[in-house]
Amino acid sequence: MTTFLGAPVRVRDQVFGNLYLTDKRGGAEFDDDDEAVLRTLAAAAGVAIDNARLYEDTRRREQWLAASSDLARSLLSGADQEQVLHQVAATVRTLSGAALVTLAVPLEGGDELVIEAADGAGAEQVEGLVLPAATLAAKVYHSNQRVTSGALSDEPQAGAAPRRRSTWGRDSCSRWAVASMCAGFCRSRTCPAAPSSPTPRWP
C-alpha cells in the first residue's frame, strides 16, 4: 500500500465504520476531489444503513404487535392454557432470535417461580424447574423490572432444582393472569440449559 484515504461512515452522529481507498490508479496521490467523493459516498452509506435499521425496527414492531394480538385472541377464546403458554414461548423465540425462551409463573405460598413453558434448546429439560428467589427470573418477577446479564455463569443458578407444576391456569380467572408471569430468553449459543448439560441450570 502506497497511498491511503479514509472517511468515517456515520449513522446518527455515531461512527458505524470506515470507508477506505488505497493505491490510486497510476500511483498518484489522492487529492481534494477524491476526498470530496469519498465523503459523499460515506454519507450515502450512512443514510442507507440508517434507513435499513429503521425499516427493520418497524418490521419487528409490526411482528410483535401481530403476535400479541394473536396470543390475546387465543387467551380470550378460552383456548387450553398450557397450549397458549407454549405458543407464547414459541412466538417470542421466533421473533427474538433467542436460543431458548422460558415462561415462569409464581408458586403459591412463596417467592419461588416454576418454569411452566419453554421453547428452544433444552426446553424439555427446564420445564417444571423451580426457580429460587435469588435467581434472575425471580428478581425480574418480583421487581417488575427488566433485567439483563452478560455473564450468566456469575449469577445464582437453579441447579438441580425440584420439578413441580404450578396451579396457574387451572381456575376460571386464569385468562386474566398473563401479567403474573416472567419471560426470559437466552441468546447465547451455549445456553445454561442446553441438552449437552447433564444437569440443566437456569439463571
- Model confidence at 113, in pLDDT bands (50, 70, 90)? confident
The pLDDT value given to residue 165: 55
Residue 49 lies in a domain: yes
Q: What would the pLDDT profile of 134-171 be if each residue is shown by its tens digit?
A: 787 788 888 877 777 766 666 555 544 455 555 544 44
What's the predicted TM-score (pTM) here?
Answer: 0.58
41 and 54 part of one domain: yes
**Residue 90 is placed in which grid cell?**
414459541
89 and 165 part of one domain: yes
Give the range of the structural domain holding residue 150, as residue numbers without chain letter.
Answer: 81-186
14 and 93 part of one domain: no
Nearest to 186 by CA among 141, 165, 155: 155
112 and 53 part of one domain: no
Residue 203 lies in a domain: no
Distance of CA 111 to CAs 77, 105, 107, 108, 179, Å?
31, 10, 7, 8, 16
32 and 123 part of one domain: no
The pLDDT value given to residue 49: 95
Last residue of a domain, one of 30, 57, 77: 77
Residue 128 pLDDT > 70: yes
The pLDDT value given to residue 194: 44
- Number of structural domains the chain divides into: 2
Distance of CA 155 to CAs 15, 46, 136, 159, Å?
33, 39, 7, 11
Q: What would the pLDDT profile of 93-105 be if each residue is shown by its tens digit?
A: 888 888 888 888 8
The pLDDT value given to residue 197: 44
39 and 128 part of one domain: no
Q: What would the pLDDT profile of 18-33 be if each residue is shown by its tens digit?
A: 999 999 988 889 999 9
